Amino acid sequence: MMLKEIGFYSLVVLCALLVAIPVFAVARYIIRRFRPAQPHSNRIAILAAIVATPILCVAGLYLMLAIYLYYPHRDFNSDRWAAEKMKRYEMMKDLQDSHRLLGLSEKEVAALLGAPDQQTDQYWEYYLGMTPKLIPIDGDALSLEFRDGKVVRFFVHET
């Protein structure tokens, strides 16, 4: 095994112990408190710790990821869109759901979203900011594809 793998598994074992020891103590306390005549209370508490520890570790990891990756979904507002370029991703869901982008003319898009950050003959691109991700590398962008002066397709992608 490489040194990194040993360090990783040592960290996993340490985290599991930090969860298993309190689970064992609580289970033993509950058993002794409510069933004082229960034989082998330590064995039952160990079994409870073995069963509960992986569940609690996965639930804790899920909770930490949910907190880390959370961001508010705000209502679309043209003024806020223009003022907060780094947080446009917060308004993207509402923009997709409530404002029909397909079929809008270039003039209507410019009135709604302002001038694009990048523009070619067929594509307009609006920078959305750094959407919270597990490993954020690039920001996201909204691209609008135009044909005959109308939006025919839009999509969000990493820049």
Give tens-digit pLDDT for 98-142: 878 999 999 999 999 999 999 998 999 999 999 888 887 889 999
Annotated domain spans of the chain? 3-69, 78-158
Within 8 A by CB and 6+ apart from 39, the residues are none
Give the confidence band of 66 by pLDDT, cuts at 50, 70, 90.
confident
38 pLDDT above the threshold of 90 = no
pTM: 0.68
Q: Could you tell me where the beta strands, DSSP code E, fall in the chain?
A: 118-119, 123-129, 140-147, 150-158
Q: What is the mean pLDDT of residues 55-68?
A: 89
Please compute the mean of the pLDDT values over residues 13-28 and round it to a whole number: 90
CATH topology of domain 78-158: Beta-lactamase Inhibitory Protein; Chain:B, domain 1 (3.30.1450)
- Residue 89 near residue 128, CB atoms below 8 Å: yes
Instruction: Report the percent of the chain where pLDDT is more than 90.
Output: 56
Tokens of 157: 């992608």
pLDDT above 60: residue 1 = no
